[in-house]
Structure 1
Amino acid sequence: MSQAEQSMKLELERIVFIGRTFEEYIDMFSLSNEELKGKKILDCPAGACSFTAVGSNNGLNVTACDIAYYYPGDNLKNKGLQDIEHAMEQMEKSKRNYIWNYFKDVEDLKKHRLSALKDCTNHMKKSSESYVPVTLPSLPFNDEEFDLLLSAHFLFMYADRLDYKFHLKTLDELLRVTKEEIRIFPLVDLEGKRYEHLDKLIEYLTIQGCVVDEVKVPYEFQKNANSMLKIIKS
């Protein structure tokens, strides 16, 4: 193995490649297929989610972007399989921290995660142009290129390692590439606590002329993770 390949392997090890299903997105973001039709949509960051794959197969105009897409699809599939196994082992130990309504048990959760990974990596092979590698807080898209932007399980969740300045820069970039609306889920960190700077961010967005609402959604797996931020640009 060359030095470059070793370096790439080490970098890939730092990425967790796990995703949610299209159906989970519909519930997490309180969406309907009807309101998505005719919209140009960005999933950022998308990871191993199947929203782009299933949405595209259903005639929706969806683009996914993520730092993981710098790596080949086969490598990502193998990494995803490893990550799901590891995550399920951890889930067995901490399942009391979750609400088991959406998923019946850990085995059912695993099926959903494997389904998302399979749909995502299969679609990547035939529609690689839909999967754009990015390194936030920068995005390689034009101003107001997308009507709707969805961002799941990234901002706010990792408040322990992504500081307020990063959140602010990323939000500015999300706003730049979006014409109409941004939805962010969830509003809590990994411990299930509301993001400590959320009110400050909402105030900032309001000053920018956005209409901002915290909206309860019909999805809760991690305790307290049952609301999204809905940002409408004026």
Structure 2
Amino acid sequence: MKADYKNWVPKGMVLGTLAVTCVLLVIAMILGIKSVPGIVFLVLTVLSALGTLWMFLMYKAFSYNGTRQMSRHIIEGVSSYVKIPDGGKCLDVGCGSGALSIACAKKNPGAQIIGIDRWGKEYASFSKNLCESNSVAEGVNNTSFQQGDACKLDFNDESFDAVTSNYVYHNIPSKDRQAILLETLRTLKKGGTFAIHDIMSKSKYGDMESFVEKLKTMGYEDVRLIDTTNGMFMNKWESTWMGLTGSAILMGRK
């Protein structure tokens, strides 16, 4: 049995845009490419084709079994920052297919990793059952998974020795993603560590440098914002064409 972490770019999304491109092309041909409506649909076809190509390249880059394997590099990289004492607990917010939870479990065999996710229709291939199956396939027994809402966590203050997350919060419609970060950090014990990786651009998160300073004034220690587009997980060109500009790890200790 082999773990199946799926792809962060769903195959159905790629095939869906390809189907739209084909439909647009057929309509353009029926209308006639020399007519005004036909030209309009031809332009739409080209734009849709470019979108399909972008999604296909993203799909290949994020594939766990492909050449680039960016997903695997990111998961291994983020999990290396998660330190949990034996007997401790870690919360992985937005666990998806369980990849980060399982990586943290492997690196911290004496700790318990709890992964939560809403497993919505946007990522229908991800599920609690998939996370549990992947844990079995990877031979780890210190993980558990449950339904949860990142905006309102069903855990008391200071419940965990570590909290982590990867590429989750930018997907949540919100005008204040820093508030979502604080909701996650609320569950962290005094002395606990955190490592949260996301697209922390100003347009999505506001001024993160100021947020780092805010955490320090709140008593958090060794708070850092680590750029992951400088060769750590990807280069600047990759982050640009993939739409991942601003990717960074927010890490530190409470």
Question: TM (normalized to structure 2)?
Answer: 0.51
Aligned partners of 2:200 and 2:208 also within 8 Å: no
Aligned partners of 2:195 and 2:250 also within 8 Å: yes
Matched with 1:131 is 145
**Structure 1 gap segments, 5+ residues each:** 1-17, 82-115
Q: CA RMSD of the aligned region, Å?
A: 4.1
Change (3 A) 1:226 1:187: closer
1:182 and 2:194 are equivalent in the alignment: yes
Q: 1:49 aligns with which of 58, 76, 98?
A: 98
1:67 and 2:118 are equivalent in the alignment: yes
Equivalent-residue separation in structure 2 for 1:19 and 1:121 (angstroms): 20
Aligned partners of 1:19 and 1:48 also within 8 Å: no
Aligned amino acid, residue 48 of structure 1: S
Secondary structure at the aligned position of 2:249 is classed as: strand
Matched with 1:213 is 224
Q: Give the CA deviation at 1:182.
A: 1.6
Q: Describe how 1:4-43 pairs up with structure 2 within 5 A.
A: 24-31=74-81, 35-36=83-84, 38=86, 39-43=88-92
Aligned partners of 1:186 and 1:226 also within 8 Å: yes
Matched with 1:202 is 212
Equivalent-residue separation in structure 2 for 1:140 and 1:122 (angstroms): 24
Matched with 1:144 is 158
Equivalent-residue separation in structure 2 for 1:49 and 1:130 (angstroms): 9
Q: How many residues align?
A: 167
Equivalent-residue separation in structure 1 for 2:84 and 2:72 (angstroms): 12
**Structure 2 gap segments, 5+ residues each:** 1-61, 65-70
Aligned amino acid, residue 24 of structure 1: I
- Of structures 1 and 2, the one with the larger relative CO (CA 8 A, separation 6+) is 1
Q: Percent identity?
A: 17
Deviation string, structure 1 residues 169-194 (Cα, Å, up to 9, x no partner): 322221221121221113435xx978
Question: TM (normalized to structure 1)?
Answer: 0.55
Q: Give the CA deviation at 1:63.
A: 0.6
Matched with 1:12 is none
Matched with 2:251 is 230
Q: Give the CA deviation at 1:222.
A: 3.5
Aligned partners of 2:132 and 2:144 also within 8 Å: no
